[in-house]
Structure 1
Amino acid sequence: MDYKVMINGLAVDAFYSEECVENIFIPLLKRLTELQRQKNRRILVMLAAPPGAGKSTLCSFLEKLSKETDGVTPLQAIGMDGFHRRQEYLTCHTTIRDGKEIKMVEIKGAPETFDLDLMKSRIQSITREDSLGWPIYDRTLHNPVDNAIEVESDIVLLEGNYLLLNQPGWDEISKYADYTISIVADENQLRNRLIERKALSGNSIEKATAFVDYSDMVNVKTCLKYSKEADLTLQVKSDNTIECIGSK
């Protein structure tokens, strides 16, 4: 099934096989629908994956599929990327990487470049408030846009790199989830995807490759090595199809 969508200001072309839709995605939507009905309140689902794994596109597709499938509750997909610190902040604040003090903008996308406290506060509000504003990140602006969407659905699917990260501060996030999903993939496969995506943002291949190798791949390794086990684990295969490799 071909799927074309705008993600963070960029056009994305994706494909999901009928087998994947019928055997993984629709059963997942039915499971979440049953969970929401059992709890009789809004539920929060968290999907965590390393950079380049296609999590934003998949969540957007699951939202569309939920609205087109009989017998399931429509879900709303949102992301944690709206909690990037603003470009102005990152260019004038520093952090330590490999024993060297650097500007935070040089490793934009690393855990320390997000406003974790603000994100925690908004996440806690998801199941407490009927409707609330939620930020998005626009890659063409290189900045978050606050209150860009309204969270209103009974099933909210939150995606992000570090939602299952088992490190101080971040390890508190998943306790607010009613259900968790993880996506894993081969590091080299993710590297190629990230270089292509960075180049689409207006960078040369050389500049895109340098940034990905210095910054993004550190984040990829962090996600793959230090994330908690999820209720459902999916894997992106070498042919870009998705398979289920673990379910609680």
Structure 2
Amino acid sequence: MTTAEDQTQARFQGAQRLDCTLDELVERARSLAAGGTRCLLGITGAPGAGKSTAAQAIATALGDQAALVGMDAFHLANKVLARHGSHGRKGAPDTFDPWGYAHLLRRLKSNREPVVYAPVFDRGLEESIGCAVPVGRGVPLVITEGNYLLLDAEGWREGRELIDHVWYLDTGNDERRRRLVRRHQAFGKPTAEAEAWALGSDQRNAEIVEGTRERADLIINLTGTHRPDINA
């Protein structure tokens, strides 16, 4: 007899690899929205991989058939990080509230409420804002993106179990780092500090995320040209 544990282990083995354009990825997501029931799609990858670009492109293309909810909205507040002495590592797995994120995903998955108001992370403020993203009961596809959707740790595992499909964006390290430096510069960091973050904290987090790659349903290499988002 196949146990629930066996089924879970099988789910995380043998991730398929796919080369596709961003437009083709949008169409693949569109088919999920047409499935007849609420579907949760996760988009993950190392910092700078292009998660925000892909997720926003899908949400924009699908209009009222999709809603975008970010994992980053579960960053711990700066004052909490300062109290823990971890503000300099903001973005590491332990600087988030994974149980809160899992709880939101559970509400979205069950789709029993007329509307769920999700939080959003404001990069200008470097803080989260609650009740900023309304997700109505009639929305068939909820897209969620972030670094740690596949992390095998308490809280993160519980969230992963609620996501129907997780796509891992596999992007070359040189390009990722260039994007990260540009992102940090865009939000006010001097070049030297931006490079230090990209090669320091961001790179350490990237190595953690890359270790989760094989637990994805699809490992995707985006081909063609698309505009990299500074929030990617």
Normalized against structure 1, the TM-score is what? Answer: 0.75
Which whole-Å deviations, capped at 9, do the CAs of 1:132-169 have from their partners, x for residues lacking one? 11011111111000111111212111111111123344
How far apart are 1:29 and its partner, in Å?
2.8
Structure with greater proportional strand content: 1
The residue type equivalent to 1:82 in the other structure is A
Q: Alignment identity in percent?
A: 27
1:151 counterpart residue number: 135
Q: Which residues in structure 2 correspond to 1:72-151 (within 5 Å)?
A: 74-93=65-84, 103-128=85-110, 129-151=113-135
Secondary structure class of the residue paired with 2:129: strand
Q: Against the structure 1 CA distance between its residues 117 and 204, is the aligned structure 2 distance closer, same or farther, given a 3 Å change threshold?
A: same
1:200 aligns with 2:186: yes
1:25 counterpart residue number: 26
Secondary structure class of the residue paired with 2:149: coil
- How many residues align? The count is 204
1-structure distance, mates of 2:159, 2:60: 26
The residue type equivalent to 2:163 in the other structure is A
2-structure distance, mates of 1:206, 1:22: 35
1-structure distance, mates of 2:190, 2:25: 37
After superposing on structure 2, the runs of 4+ consecutive aligned residues of structure 1 that deviate more than 3 Å are 21-24, 239-242
The residue type equivalent to 2:116 in the other structure is L
Which whole-Å deviations, capped at 9, do the CAs of 1:8-43 have from their partners, x for residues lacking one? xxxxxxxxxxx82554421x0343034x31xxx322
2-structure distance, mates of 1:236, 1:167: 28
How far apart are 1:53 and its partner, in Å?
1.3
Which whole-Å deviations, capped at 9, do the CAs of 1:155-186 have from their partners, x for residues lacking one? 11111111112334423321101222111112
Q: Which residues in structure 2 correspond to 1:144-223 (within 5 Å)?
A: 144-152=128-136, 153-223=139-209
The residue type equivalent to 1:50 in the other structure is A
- Contact kept? 2:30, 2:62, Cα under 8 Å: no
1-structure distance, mates of 2:22, 2:187: 30
2:10 counterpart residue number: none
- Contact kept? 2:22, 2:222, Cα under 8 Å: no
Which of 54, 57, 61 does residue 57 from structure 2 map onto?
61
Give me the CA root mean square deviation: 2.1
